[in-house]
């Protein structure tokens, strides 16, 4: 019994595909295009199972669409800038460029061993100046369009590292490495004006029909459109007014205080002369800028002593507090607090003994809206509210808005939670922002002819802070405008910028301009994008924004970058712990005959935990490279597609991949040593049965691949393989032999996109001359899909009592007559009389007695 030599075969076919440029994509205007893209990886050095799943799914789609006649673009690249390279540089004394390049080389090898149908000619890397020079050009174009700008913004500042930290690098208000409290510092930062497209980005989510609903919902919440009222309150004893924003103007008569953000200009102004307020503001700053940090803190405030006059009750004066829970970034940075109907305001009021006046009474409530610890935020009837009494919330909002608008102290306003995108990073390993800061001329763009602004190689990471900032020569330049001494911008771009347009660059990866318009027009948008749900908001929203910005600058003609989106689930594995609760790697444990799991080295029992997503910290990881070395790429790929639907989590098991390996060898034997029929009886209709089944399965696998139901496709292929194994391929019966061969060819074509190496090998073994990869997708013969007989279920009172095998599309009366004739049905009816019968054509007869 022979075995499939995957090592030899996989390498052979990968070589042939490369030699024949099978997957090299070229623009062909007369052919329909299909652009499949998987989210490009960060080059960490090794691929993990998540990549294997992601790229396998993408490859199935690419190969399938290719077979269907589409001109497929399926590229791959590297999201190669970012912090890990700098950390590695520090730890291993390696230059980030060198570290990144080595990692890319290794990961490329690993990816290539998977046999994915990438057009490697289009490979790009974001850290390569041939890529980022164009990004710099795009940045300058955005600057010209007013879509990029610089302003002061609050950041997390690590005083030891002398650097800005991302929110996720702040743990419990402390720097992740330094361990010292992070400060909120105001720095000049670059922003992209994503808010200019807030409405469009929200509205057009609706059009993304091939996106998962939950991703669209997440983006909707993230953009967070709200309709409210912008209002002016008189500040007693001052000339200026306090501008605030609310969506609950109906509760205006319940207002008992006003609160402003620590960064609010009024707070800043008052702080200059009051030390205690300064201290309070810095206390708020120590919280960090992350919303989570602000959220978990107690609500505290500082009474400024100032009062604001209530707009409808001139006798009521509201104390103005500076409060830590008011965000400068949202609305106007100032609110009025109505404790009875907002939980935060209530917590705050209870702490500072402020009045809690209920103004909205729930229609069900029996206590006239009395509030203790829980604010009432629902709808109801207005009380204690002067001219609003008796109205509901919506009516009251309208009434307040009208009156305030008439008095010119209020204006209906739409606000968004979405904020402009801060892209400044005080780091080395990123795309330099191509501007020069001149004392005379201000911000001066680097002239196009001087692009790219490349990163200097001679940098050290020994000392803290941004290496670009302390570089001896790099940042000192002449102002391109006036010629006087000036400095380069030392901030680099957030890596999300790099990934916001790479999909477009793939259309013309070596163009001299950022994008070749013709190529972009041909290939874009991406027809199917595939990646993890973790990018549901930021990456996808930034890319949607960037696409619109690029359209504004005339680079492309589409609004939406990704027409279809598939978010695949994670790869999970059981977890293991020893008796001291230390995590163990799967290869450190073994399962004995009795099902007991023990530590291989110590023999001690191991606690098996539930399956969780593979992660290094839990050690429940399986290295794709070792799986590919043991069972081959096709086995890993097939496993990734079996069992779980792509959008759900998948559990990796040893027994599962062993099962795949057995299946691969079964297919191999079907092709090389077909069952000869010794000792088996051949059904008289064996040939027809084979043909019907193989065409039915061809049809359903085609549907499954169209709908990304890979697990169902796998099941159907198993079914066909089972039937082939059960049907002797007798040499004496020409009809059976032909049907068998046809079915085997269909089977091979069906596995082609999923197990491409095995597919090619079997295809060649069957004597076909060309590559399977070049073979058009087969079509099922409709005649063979029509069944000669259908099985109709016969129910009595909804319970199955028998089945009929009859020709399809029969008259209802005939069907009922045959049904009532069945022995079992007669018995079930007994002496009762038939009340009525329901017939579902070709499916069910239900006899009601």
Partner RNA sequence: GCGGGCGUGGUGGAACUGGUAGACACGCCAGAUUUAGGAUCUGGUGACGAAAGUCGUGGGGGUUCGAAUCCCUCCGCCCGCACCA
Tracing tokens 């990881």 back to the chain, one arrives at 621
**Contact positions with RNA (CB under 7 A) in 105-144:** none
**Contact positions with RNA (CB under 7 A) in 421-480:** none
Query: Which one of residues 642, 699, 702, 727 is an interface residue with RNA (CB under 7 A)?
Result: 642
Provide the minimum distance between the beta carbon of 297 and RNA in the complex, in angstroms, as a whole number. 5
Residue 568, helix vs strand vs coil = strand
Query: Which one of residues 1, 29, 275, 732 is an interface residue with RNA (CB under 7 A)?
Result: 1
Residue 644, helix vs strand vs coil = coil
Q: Is 222 in the site for RNA (CB under 7 A)?
A: yes
Q: How far apart are CA 28 and CA 35, in angstroms?
A: 13
The one segment of 222-230, 357-365, 457-465, 758-766 that binds RNA by CB under 7 A:
222-230
Provide the minimum distance between the beta carbon of 742 and RNA in the complex, in angstroms, as a whole number. 21
**Contact positions with RNA (CB under 7 A) in 772-831:** 791, 793, 795, 797-801, 803, 824, 827
Q: How many CB atoms lie within 10 A of CB 417?
A: 15
Which lies closer to RNA via its Cβ, residue 43 or residue 802?
802
Provide the minimum distance between the beta carbon of 724 and RNA in the complex, in angstroms, as a whole number. 11
**Contact positions with RNA (CB under 7 A) in 252-271:** 261
Query: Which one of residues 213, 386, 601, 685 is an interface residue with RNA (CB under 7 A)?
Result: 213
Q: Is 294 in the site for RNA (CB under 7 A)?
A: yes
Q: Is 666 in the site for RNA (CB under 7 A)?
A: yes
Write down the H helix ranges in 286-409: 291-296, 343-352, 393-406
Q: Is 532 in the site for RNA (CB under 7 A)?
A: no
Sequence-ordered list of residues with C-beta below 8 angstroms from that of 818, at least 6 positions apart, any chain: 804, 806
Query: Which one of residues 22, 106, 195, 247 is an interface residue with RNA (CB under 7 A)?
Result: 247
**Contact positions with RNA (CB under 7 A) in 333-372:** 333, 335-336, 342-344, 347
- CA 766 to chain centroid, in Å, comes to 42
Q: Helix/strand/coil (H, E, C) string of 739-804?
A: HHHHHHHHHHHHHCCCCHHHHHHHHHHCCCCCCHHHCCCCCCCHHHHCCCCEEEEEEECCEEEEEE
Q: Does residue 289 contact residue 154 with C-beta atoms inside 8 Å?
A: yes
In angstroms, what CA-CA distances link 471 with 190, 403, 465, 488, 538? 21, 60, 11, 11, 32
Provide the minimum distance between the beta carbon of 104 and RNA in the complex, in angstroms, as a whole number. 28
Look at residues 493, 434, 542 and name the one whose alpha carbon lies nearest to residue 195: 542
Q: How many CB atoms lie within 10 A of CB 600?
A: 11
Look at residues 489, 329, 322, 524 and name the one whose alpha carbon lies nearest to residue 421: 329
The one segment of 135-143, 436-444, 624-632, 638-646 that binds RNA by CB under 7 A:
638-646
Q: How far apart are CA 152 and CA 424, in angstroms?
A: 11
Which lies closer to RNA via its Cβ, residue 451 or residue 697?
697
Query: Which one of residues 248, 397, 471, 599 is an interface residue with RNA (CB under 7 A)?
Result: 248
**Contact positions with RNA (CB under 7 A) in 556-585:** none
**Contact positions with RNA (CB under 7 A) in 398-417:** 415, 417
Q: Is 59 in the site for RNA (CB under 7 A)?
A: no
Query: Which one of residues 160, 180, 217, 600 is an interface residue with RNA (CB under 7 A)?
Result: 217
Look at residues 670, 662, 580, 576 and name the one whose alpha carbon lies nearest to residue 614: 576
Residues linked to residue 412 through DSSP beta bridges, in sequence order: 229
Provide the minimum distance between the beta carbon of 846 and RNA in the complex, in angstroms, as a whole number. 4
DSSP character string of 143-197: HHTTSEEEEEEEEEEETTTTEEE-GGGEETTEETTT-SBPEEEEEEEEEE-GGGG
Provide the minimum distance between the beta carbon of 290 and RNA in the complex, in angstroms, as a whole number. 8
Provide the minimum distance between the beta carbon of 666 and RNA in the complex, in angstroms, as a whole number. 5
Query: Which one of residues 299, 471, 548, 729 is an interface residue with RNA (CB under 7 A)?
Result: 299
Q: How many CB atoms lie within 10 A of CB 73?
A: 25
Q: Is 292 in the site for RNA (CB under 7 A)?
A: yes
Which lies closer to RNA via its Cβ, residue 392 or residue 665?
665
Query: Which one of residues 240, 279, 291, 458 is an interface residue with RNA (CB under 7 A)?
Result: 291
**Contact positions with RNA (CB under 7 A) in 147-176:** none
């Amino acid at each position: 019994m022979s075995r499939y030599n995957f090592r030899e075969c996989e390498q052979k076919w990968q070589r042939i595909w490369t030699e024949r440029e099978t997957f090299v994509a070229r623009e062909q205007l007369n052919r329909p295009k299909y652009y499949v893209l998987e989210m490009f990886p960060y080059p960490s050095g090794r691929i993990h199972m998540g990549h294997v799943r992601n790229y396998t799914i993408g490859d199935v789609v690419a190969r399938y669409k290719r077979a269907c006649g589409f001109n497929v673009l399926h590229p791959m690249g590297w999201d190669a800038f970012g912090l890990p390279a700098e950390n590695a540089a520090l730890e291993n004394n390696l230059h980030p460029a060198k570290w990144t390049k080595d990692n890319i080389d290794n990961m490329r090898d690993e990816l290539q061993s998977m046999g994915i149908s990438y057009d490697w000619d289009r490979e790009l890397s974001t850290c390569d100046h041939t890529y980022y020079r164009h990004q710099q050009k795009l940045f300058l174009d955005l600057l010209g369009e007013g879509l990029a700008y610089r302003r002061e913004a609050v950041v997390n500042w690590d005083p030891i590292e002398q650097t800005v930290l991302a929110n996720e690098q702040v743990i419990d208000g402390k720097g992740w490495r330094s361990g010292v409290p992070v400060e909120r510092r105001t720095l000049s930062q670059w922003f992209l004006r994503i808010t200019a497209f807030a409405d469009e980005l929200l509205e057009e989510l609706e059009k993304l029909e091939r996106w998962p609903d939950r991703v669209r919902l997440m983006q909707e919440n993230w953009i967070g459109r709200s309709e409210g009222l912008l209002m002016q309150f008189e500040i007693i004893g001052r000339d200026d007014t306090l501008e605030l924003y609310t969506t609950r103007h109906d509760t205006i008569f319940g207002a008992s205080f006003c609160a402003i953000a620590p960064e609010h200009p009024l707070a800043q102004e008052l702080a200059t002369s009051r030390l205690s307020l300064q201290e309070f503001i810095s206390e708020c700053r120590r919280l960090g800028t992350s919303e989570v940090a602000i959220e978990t803190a107690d609500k505290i405030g500082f009474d400024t002593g100032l009062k604001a006059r209530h707009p409808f009750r001139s006798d009521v004066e509201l104390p103005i507090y500076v409060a830590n829970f008011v965000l400068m970034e949202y609305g106007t940075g100032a609110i009025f607090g109505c404790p009875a109907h907002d939980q935060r305001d209530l917590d705050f009021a209870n702490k500072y003994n402020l009045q809690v006046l209920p103004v909205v009474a729930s229609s069900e409530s029996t206590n006239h809206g009395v509030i203790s610890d829980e604010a009432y935020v629902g709808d109801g009837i207005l009380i204690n509210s002067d001219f609003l009494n008796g109205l509901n919330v919506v009516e009251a909002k309208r009434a307040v808005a009208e009156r305030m608008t008439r008095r010119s102290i209020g204006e209906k306003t739409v606000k968004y939670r979405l904020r402009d995108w801060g892209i400044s990073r005080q780091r080395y390993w990123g795309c330099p922002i191509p501007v020069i800061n001149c004392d005379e001329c201000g911000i001066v763009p680097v002239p196009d002819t001087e692009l790219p602004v490349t990163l200097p190689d001679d940098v050290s990471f020994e000392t803290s802070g941004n290496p670009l900032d302390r570089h001896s020569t790099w940042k000192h330049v002449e102002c391109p405008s006036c010629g006087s001494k000036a400095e380069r911008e030392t901030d680099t771009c957030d890596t999300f910028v790099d990934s916001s347009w790479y999909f477009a660059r793939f259309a013309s990866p070596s163009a001299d301009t950022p994008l070749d318009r013709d190529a972009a027009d041909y290939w874009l948008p991406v027809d199917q994008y595939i990646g993890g749900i973790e990018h549901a908001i930021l990456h996808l929203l930034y890319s949607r924004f960037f696409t619109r910005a690029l359209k504004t600058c005339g680079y492309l003609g589409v609004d939406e970058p990704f027409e279809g989106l598939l978010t695949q689930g994670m790869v999970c594995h059981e977890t293991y712990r020893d008796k001291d609760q230390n995590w163990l790697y799967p290869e450190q444990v073994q399962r004995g005959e009795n099902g007991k799991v023990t530590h291989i080295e110590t023999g001690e029992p191991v606690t098996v935990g539930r399956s969780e997503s593979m992660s290094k910290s839990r050690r429940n990881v399986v290295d794709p490279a070792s799986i590919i070395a043991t069972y081959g790429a096709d086995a890993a790929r097939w496993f990734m597609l079996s069992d779980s639907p792509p959008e759900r989590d998948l559990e990796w098991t040893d027994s599962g991949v062993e099962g795949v390996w057995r299946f691969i060898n079964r297919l191999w034997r079907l092709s090389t040593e077909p069952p000869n029929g010794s000792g088996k009886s051949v059904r008289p209709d064996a040939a027809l049965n084979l043909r019907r089944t193989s065409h039915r399965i061809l049809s359903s696998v085609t549907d499954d691949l169209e709908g990304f139901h890979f697990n169902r496709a796998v099941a159907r292929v198993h079914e066909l393989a089972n039937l082939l194994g059960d049907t002797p391929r007798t040499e004496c019966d020409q009809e059976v032999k032909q049907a068998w061969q046809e079915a085997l060819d269909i089977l091979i074509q069906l596995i082609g996109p999923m197990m491409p190496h095995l597919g090619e090998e079997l295809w060649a073994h069957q004597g076909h001359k060309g590559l399977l990869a070049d073979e058009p997708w087969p079509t099922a013969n409709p005649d063979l899909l029509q069944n000669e007989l259908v099985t109709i279920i016969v129910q009595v009172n909804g319970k199955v009592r028998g089945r009929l095998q009859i020709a399809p599309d029969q008259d209802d009366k005939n069907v009922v007559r045959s049904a009532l004739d069945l022995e079992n049905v007669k018995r079930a009816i007994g002496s009762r009389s038939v009340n009525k019968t329901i017939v579902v054509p070709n499916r069910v007869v239900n006899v009601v007695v």
